[in-house]
């Protein structure tokens, strides 16, 4: 007998192998974490069936769907599902709302001797569950780590079980220079992965002070609103220390990622283009004269770096960028917010304070609580 399982937070937490039978265009907008797209219909077939539905109703649309996906094409898609199920025991099916498409796929598989469950309510139900989890997490205690650019705030929260890496989920380091040589998630995929992370972390959550936008995605509004008044810990480190940290993050580590992703020559070319473009995007705030000065220093640094392999030449443009742009901007925003820090100290002192704070204010993991699908 065909069976369904509810899209509960507990089920999604285990990240079961999922077959998303929606069309590729739907999958590209966002999916349930752990899913692979093996569609019942491709984009064109889905479009034609949709048009038939609007003109002639559901029965005619279903008949056209069976006509389009038949014979060898039907067998190929069935084989793809069976291969995935054989390689991933416990796999499940889902479509947009847990309706016709996943039911058809489930029936075809049963007729071929493969019993598989489908996700009750499909993608829509799973998304509702994950968004409810984020809303619940936003009501939990949290502490926000702030500080000037280069204070290794992300590294601090990653050292803690309670840390939630928003930039990691966004695959972006948050500033104009933060783009990574990897595909960025859609807003929906960012929200879904973040929801599961929040559900699995103990409280209080530790998050980095961010603007709502991180690269191409935005922090979900309930969480963003909860972060604004949350108690803050401010990391303060000397300029030389911060420049070294920035160089490792935005030059050395970035170069390794580009090289590994694209190879030596193309990786260097694309990394250089990204860092130049990031600086140019600050033209309005820097002013043309200061931008030209920083660009000249940046080009000189690239030439030295390429020739000697020593990235310390980049200090020549990173130091004034911090002193003349990022630091004044941070101090202006801090004064405007009027927020008082719970604790101010160097990186190690802040790490120890936050670890102690989490221990003293430790709550139950969100996952242990009941969240309705």
**pLDDT, tens digit, for every residue of 204-248?**
999 999 989 998 899 999 999 999 999 999 999 999 999 999 999
Q: 334 pLDDT band (50/70/90 cuts)?
A: confident
Q: Is the pTM of this model over 0.85?
A: yes
Q: What is the mean pLDDT of the chain?
A: 90
pLDDT attached to residue 235:
96
Query: Is there a contact between 325 and 285 (Cβ–Cβ < 8 Å)?
Result: yes
| Range with the poorest average pLDDT among 12-16, 78-82, 196-200, 219-223 | 12-16
Question: Please, which pLDDT band fits residue 174 given cuts at 50, 70 and 90?
Answer: low
163 strand-pairing partners: 206
Query: What per-residue confidence (pLDDT) applies to 364?
Result: 45
Confidence tier at 171 by pLDDT (50, 70, 90): confident
Spans of all domains in the chain: 4-125, 138-373
Whether 95 is catalytic is yes
Band (pLDDT 50/70/90 cuts) for residue 155 is very high
User: Is pLDDT of 372 > 50?
Assistant: no
Q: How confident is the model at residue 342 (pLDDT cuts 50, 70, 90)?
A: very high
Confidence of residue 2 (pLDDT cuts 50, 70, 90): low
Q: Are 349 and 152 in contact (CB under 8 A)?
A: no
Mean pLDDT over residues 47-61, rounded?
91
Check residue 76 and give its pLDDT.
Answer: 95
Q: How far apart are the first and last CA of the chain?
A: 23
- Structure tokens, 257: 């990622």
Look at residue 312 and tell me whether its pLDDT is greater than 80. Answer: yes
CATH architecture of 138-373: 3-Layer(aba) Sandwich (3.40)
What does the pLDDT look like over 63-100, one tens digit per residue?
998 999 999 999 999 999 999 999 999 999 999 997 88
In this predicted structure, which of 237-246, 315-324, 332-341 has the lowest mean pLDDT?
Answer: 332-341
What pLDDT shows up at residue 180?
74
Residue range 258-297, pLDDT digits in tens? 999 999 999 999 999 999 998 999 999 899 999 999 999 9
- pLDDT of the residue at 363: 62
β-pair type (35-37, 18-20)? parallel
Class of domain 4-125: alpha beta
pLDDT confidence of 328, banded at 50, 70, 90? very high
Q: Which of 163, 150, 81, 154 is nearest to 325 (CA)?
A: 150
pLDDT category at 203 given cuts 50, 70, 90 is very high
Position 373 pLDDT exceeds 90: no
């Amino acid at each position: 007998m065909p069976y369904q399982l509810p899209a509960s937070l507990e089920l999604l937490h285990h990240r079961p192998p999922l077959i998303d039978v929606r069309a590729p265009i739907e999958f590209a907008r966002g999916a349930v974490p752990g899913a692979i797209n093996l569609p019942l219909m491709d984009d064109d077939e889905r479009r034609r069936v949709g048009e038939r539905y609007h003109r002639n109703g559901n029965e005619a649309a279903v008949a056209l769907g069976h006509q389009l996906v038949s014979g060898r094409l039907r067998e190929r898609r069935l084989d793809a599902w069976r291969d995935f199920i054989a390689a991933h025991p416990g796999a499940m099916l889902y479509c947009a709302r847990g309706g016709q498409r996943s039911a058809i796929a489930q029936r075809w598989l049963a007729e071929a001797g493969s019993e598989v469950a489908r996700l009750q309510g499909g993608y829509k139900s799973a998304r509702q569950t994950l968004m409810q989890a984020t809303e619940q997490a936003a009501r939990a205690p949290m502490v926000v780590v702030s500080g000037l650019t280069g204070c290794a705030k992300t590294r601090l929260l990653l050292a803690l079980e309670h840390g939630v890496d928003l930039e990691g989920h966004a695959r972006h380091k948050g500033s104009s220079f933060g783009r990574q040589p990897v595909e960025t998630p859609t807003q929906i995929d960012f929200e879904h992965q973040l929801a599961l992370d929040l559900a699995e972390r103990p409280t209080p959550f530790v998050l980095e002070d961010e603007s709502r936008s991180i690269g191409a995605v935005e922090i979900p509004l309930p969480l963003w609103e909860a972060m604004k008044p949350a108690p803050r810990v401010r990391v303060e480190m000397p300029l030389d220390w911060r420049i070294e940290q920035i160089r490792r993050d935005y030059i050395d580590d970035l170069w390794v990622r580009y090289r590994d992703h694209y190879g030596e020559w193309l990786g260097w070319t694309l990394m250089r283009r990204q860092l130049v473009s990031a600086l140019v995007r600050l033209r309005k705030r820097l002013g043309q004269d200061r931008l030209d000065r920083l660009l000249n220093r940046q080009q000189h640094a690239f030439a030295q770096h390429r020739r000697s392999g020593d990235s310390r030449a980049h200090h020549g443009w990173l130091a004034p960028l911090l002193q003349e742009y990022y630091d004044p901007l941070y101090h202006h925003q801090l004064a405007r917010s009027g927020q008082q820090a719970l604790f101010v100290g160097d990186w190690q002192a802040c790490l120890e304070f936050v670890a102690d704070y989490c221990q003293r204010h430790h709550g139950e993991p969100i996952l242990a609580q009941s969240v309705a699908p």
